[in-house]
Structure 1
Amino acid sequence: MSPSPSSSAPTKRLLAEERRRLIVEYVETQGRATVDELAGRFGISAVTIRNDLEQLARSSAITRAHGGALPAAPASAHDTPLNIKETRYHSQKLRIGQAAAALIGDGETVILDSGSTTVEIARQIRQMKFESLTVITNALNIALELSGLSHIRVMMLGGLLRGTSYSLVGPDAEQALSKLSADKLFLGVDGLDPVIGVTTPDPLEASLNALMIRVSRETIAVFDASKLGQRSLSVITPVQQLHRVITDTSAEAKAVESLRTAGVDVTLV
């Protein structure tokens, strides 16, 4: 018996979302792509591809061009929604998430900051065999990723919800965090400039992130290489306060050397 339309709809929707994520990744890797090229690559009609590109352009995941698409404009100080961030540099974020999760020891307490890279760490944690682990987070989506696992204790910070990042910030979040301590902090960043430091668009997020650093024994910044050299509104910390950076192999050698000169252990994946 063939499935009813209602039962097949979720599968079709997931396929469309996955295809659009792969389109963004392809456009960013190649620098540009035509409608015909994408239609051939994914084995679908040009009409469907045009619809995908229009949807992606409306959410700023790509830039629509005549006959195809270009990568989205570089991120600036504005706060990009998390669902858009997750479409960008996904394969790099996956590798970073795997490398970061491998650093976590059984029985540890770790902080996972909000972000499109830190959620990949949470997804890796779900697949790992820990006897016990405590995860502190201010991110709703990360808490949901780790829910329902008997060996993982999730501690959610309260506070003001930021819709763009699914994160909780503000005095209530800071008050809850000030009573805790952690072995490792995995810090997601919007920009890292060797001179200015680690930055984020939101002042409340920056304040909470700075406290995360203070209550953690080790701070590990996780981000794709596009964030190197970028600056956002609020400074979280100078780079000298970072113990380790995990980023991808496309990082500029000069920026990597600047971090290492500042005493930061840099891992490229």
Structure 2
Amino acid sequence: MYATERHERIARAIARDGRVSVAELSREFGVTAETIRRDLDQLEQQGRLRRVHGGAVGAGSTTLAETSLLERLPQRSDEKDRIAKAAVRFVPGSFRGSLLLDAGSTTSRLADLLATWQPAASDATIDVSTNSLHIASTLHGSPHLRLRILGGAVRGITGAAVGPATVRQLSELRPDIAFIGTNGVSVEFGLSTPDEAEAAAKAAMVRAARRVIVLADSTKLQSEALVRFADLADIDTLITDTSPQADLAAALAAADVEVVLA
């Protein structure tokens, strides 16, 4: 295979998956790791990707990269729908307790399902807290949900309430399950997000909940954003759409994190 053909296939893989690894490309193309590294270097010089430890990500992917909620909602919709359907199984009709929903596009898909949640007993309700304006709007009026909106300064890009007031309110809650979104899940850095204030709110959610379930599509796996808000050992379950890479899978297992494939 010519180098130009490898380059095009690498570029397509990044566009599709968000990330490539040197080891996987070396096996796929039957060339040495050093050859793949040269390929990635050339593609980076052309502005088509960005080198990271062990591989490469899209050229626009940086630790501060963040798109708006409205932009993210329609992206990878099939994967997010599957993740949301797997997540709602943790809230069966027999569930009696409290939930905490983090702001995000995948948690918003879960909120769509919770809006029509039906209890086993017709007069039963569950308590749902969120710092997301979008999720609060989705859940408002649902007959079997008691909705609590966390206050704070609202970030326009995500529609999430953040800041000291939000963190203080979270410190006074002990929800049974927190469903958390993330921009990155990695072996070395744990869970991360680009914004410091949003990271503080997420960290407070993780501390508050009895059980922490992270919803992350496969583009978030082995990615890192600027600010860490939790270690792998701080979470109980990861719901994603593709099996994590071997090193991440091993780290999750060592941290006793249940991985659910949607």
- Give percent identity, aligned residues only: 33
Q: Distance in 1 between matches of 2:113 and 2:238?
A: 18
Aligned to 2:28: none
User: Given the alignment of the two structures, is residue 232 of structure 1 paired with residue 225 of structure 2, yes or no?
Assistant: yes
One of 107, 120, 131 as aligned partner of 2:109: 120
Aligned to 1:213: 206
Q: Distance in 2 between matches of 1:206 and 1:263?
A: 23
Q: Distance in 1 between matches of 2:143 and 2:184?
A: 35
Q: Distance in 2 between matches of 1:125 and 1:244?
A: 19
**SS in structure 1 of the partner of residue 86 of structure 2:** helix
Moved segments of 4+, more than 3 Å: 28-31, 72-75
Aligned to 2:67: 80
By how many angstroms is 1:150 displaced?
Answer: 2.2
Alpha-carbon spacing, 1:169–1:30, altered in 2? closer, same or farther (3 Å) = closer
Q: Distance in 2 between matches of 1:151 and 1:219?
A: 22
8 Å CA contact 1:113, 1:185 repeated in 2: yes
CA RMSD of aligned residues (A): 2.2
- Higher alpha-carbon deviation: 127-136 or 253-262: 253-262
Q: Distance in 2 between matches of 1:261 and 1:217?
A: 20
8 Å CA contact 1:76, 1:230 repeated in 2: no
Aligned to 2:98: 109
By how many angstroms is 1:30 displaced?
Answer: 10
**SS in structure 2 of the partner of residue 229 of structure 1:** coil
By how many angstroms is 1:166 displaced?
Answer: 0.6
Aligned to 2:143: 150
Q: Superposition pairs for residues 195-210 of structure 1, below 5 Å?
A: 195-210=188-203
Q: Distance in 1 between matches of 2:158 and 2:249?
A: 27
**SS in structure 2 of the partner of residue 153 of structure 1:** strand
Q: Distance in 1 between matches of 2:156 and 2:98?
A: 27
By how many angstroms is 1:101 displaced?
Answer: 0.9
Q: Structure 1 counterpart of 2:240, which letter?
A: T
User: Given the alignment of the two structures, is residue 90 of structure 1 paired with residue 77 of structure 2, yes or no?
Assistant: yes
In the comparison of the two structures, how many residue pairs are matched?
205
**SS in structure 1 of the partner of residue 210 of structure 2:** strand
Q: Distance in 1 between matches of 2:61 and 2:113?
A: 27
Gaps of at least 5 residues in structure 2 are 1-14, 19-47, 49-57
**SS in structure 2 of the partner of residue 161 of structure 1:** strand
One of 117, 132, 136 as aligned partner of 1:139: 132
Q: Structure 1 counterpart of 2:91, which letter?
A: I
Give the TM-score of the pair, scaled to structure 1: 0.71
Q: Distance in 2 between matches of 1:230 and 1:29?
A: 15
Gaps of at least 5 residues in structure 1 are 1-27, 32-62, 64-71
